[in-house]
Structure 1
Amino acid sequence: MGRLIGTLLVVWLVIGGFAAWQRGYFDDTDTNCSEASDTALTVVAGPLNYTGVNPKIRCGKVDVPEPSK
């Protein structure tokens, strides 16, 4: 049973890697937080990428509400 799960996990990640490659995420050598996280999410999402899932992460400044005066 463990071998089957391991095999399915590897196949899942290979499909996700292929989806990231098709989107051109591995072409750019200058990577920022957003691109790296989008690539990682695409790989982890695996076959879901082909059902319309397009994972994105916004990095950088987070908008935090200001305290009242």
Structure 2
Amino acid sequence: MRERTIDPRPVHRRGTGLLSTLLLVWLAIGLIAAGQRHYFDSGPLSCAGWGTIAVTALAGPLNYAGLNPTVTDCVLPEPSQ
């Protein structure tokens, strides 16, 4: 009889690398769209500016389909004293 050995290397699921690559490409396209809209020129000075950059990056290629996500009002909680 043949002795079975256990391979100590982790088993990778098929498609995990592809999914990770697609996610990185999606976010890169979103960041390129934010750059083309000049969101990085002066730097965001408010919560709304950071939020607009974030939703633009998350929207990814949808920006080129006419989606123009913006954050207009952002309220941060005040620290308690």
* Range class of TM-score, shorter chain: 0.7 to 0.9
More helix by share: 1
Equivalent residue in structure 2 for 1:54, among 51, 55, 68: 68
Is the 2:44–2:50 Cα contact (8 Å) retained in structure 1? no
Q: CA RMSD in A?
A: 1.4
Deviant stretches of 4+, over 4 Å: none
**TM-score, normalised by the number of residues in structure 1:** 0.81
**TM-score, normalised by the number of residues in structure 2:** 0.70
Alignment coverage as a number of residue pairs: 61
Where in structure 1 are there 5+ consecutive unaligned residues?
A: 62-69
Greater RCO (Cα-Cα under 8 Å, separation 6 or more): 1
Q: Percent identity?
A: 46
Please identify the structure whose Cα radius of gyration is greater: 2
Equivalent residue number for residue 5 of structure 2: none
